Amino acid sequence: MKACLLLEDGSKFEGRVLGARGIRFGEVIFSTSMTGYQELLTDPSYRGQILVSTLAHVGNVGINDGDHESRRAWLSGFVVQDTPRRYSNWRARQGLSVWLEEQGVVGICDVDTRAIVKRLRQSGSMRGVVCAGSEPTDLLEQVLSSPHLEGRDLVREVTSLQAEVHGTAGKHVVAFDFGMKNYMVNLLQHHGLKVTRVPAQTSAQEVLELKPDGVFLSNGPGDPAALQPVVEEIKALLGEVPIFGICLGHQLLAQALGARTFKLKFGHHGTNHPVKDLATGRVEITTQNHGFAVVPESLPEGVEVTHVNLNDGTCEGLKTDKYRAFSVQYHPENAPGPHDSRYLFERFVANLEVGCHA
């Protein structure tokens, strides 16, 4: 069956169906990841987006039962150049197309993804639609009337519905689930921490009643500027317990400290983004998935930039010794991706040992 991707500038790319039939709207972005498509597809940070993979062949190893990063696929659509007719991996349980259909994700393959990515790099991320099956005559009008990502609170659509406790011993960390990936919980536990994963709407008072040694702010989708109620709760936690934030959590911590965020032209999505640690001069290869960034000039006195993106110079990390809080824009849990940033967990554990009232 034929399928197409239509961008809001009128660009149309035709191919064949991969996954579910139907019509799905979203912001069209691209990822430069060379591996780990199953982890990407189950990352809640992609809620409301249509993902274009720069990898030439996607689906070679099928889908297994162990690499899901959340309970389902969250993205609106998936666009690839080529997918094999047969998958081959001893862990695989089914093929990519069948799984996408089960998840309700509309996909398209046999398209020139290089041409799509080139257009997105030149013009920036755009609203778009993937259509598999009958194509309405007013499809472009529907794209132009679909919502922008700016101003959208998508966290409430992906957060957990109730608190979950992982582990029984060690320092106690309360983790705000803004779209938290499963492997992050695993790594926090791996570093000897007991983790209570709470919904995004949890108040600061409710968090403190759990008597945590620290707070973790997770990744997640959407515009951080649309989450002011959450920012207010983070403000109330500053100075009470050490805080560690990643991705969306980094942006929300920055806002709680008084900074602003802005929309990137086409975002950072992939597992090969170079970031420099300004304290050590060390360059890390990082996993990233975000469309917004912190305005470094808006950070108040006492809050310093700790990491910068070597591709575009954007802020990739910050810290404040006053509140014993720090954050990074990227994903140190590397699911998928390199292990260069795992030292950040040791830094967090060290902060927990000292606390905010030492």
**Residue among 83, 95, 85, 16 at smallest CA distance from 55:** 83
Please say whether the beta carbons of 173 and 216 come within 8 A: yes
Helix axis angle, 228-237 relative to 248-256, nearest 10°? 70
The question of whether 333 is a catalytic residue gets the answer yes
Radius of gyration of the chain (CA): 20
The question of whether 109 is a catalytic residue gets the answer no
CA dihedral defined by 99, 271, 163, 318, rounded to 10 degrees? -160
DSSP 290-315: EEEEE-GGGPPTT-EEEEEETTT--E
CA dihedral defined by 261, 119, 130, 93, rounded to 10 degrees? -80
Rounded Cα distance, 5 and 21, in Å = 13
Helix, coil or strand: residue 32 = coil
In terms of Cβ atoms closer than 10 Å to its own Cβ (0-12, 13-18, 19+), residue 131 is buried
In terms of Cβ atoms closer than 10 Å to its own Cβ (0-12, 13-18, 19+), residue 264 is middle
Q: Where are the beta strands (DSSP E) in 310-348?
A: 315-320, 325-328
> Residue 172 pairs with which residues in a beta bridge?
194
Q: Measure CA of the first residue to CA of the last residue in the chain; give whole Å.
A: 64
The catalytic position among 101, 109, 331, 356 is 331
Rounded Cα distance, 59 and 46, in Å = 19
- CB atoms near residue 312 (< 10 Å): 11
Rounded Cα distance, 252 and 249, in Å = 5
- CB atoms near residue 211 (< 10 Å): 9
The catalytic position among 247, 250, 307, 315 is 247
The catalytic position among 39, 284, 333, 356 is 333
**Residue among 125, 111, 123 at smallest CA distance from 54:** 111
The question of whether 331 is a catalytic residue gets the answer yes
- Please provide the size of the chain in residues: 358
Active site residues: 247, 331, 333
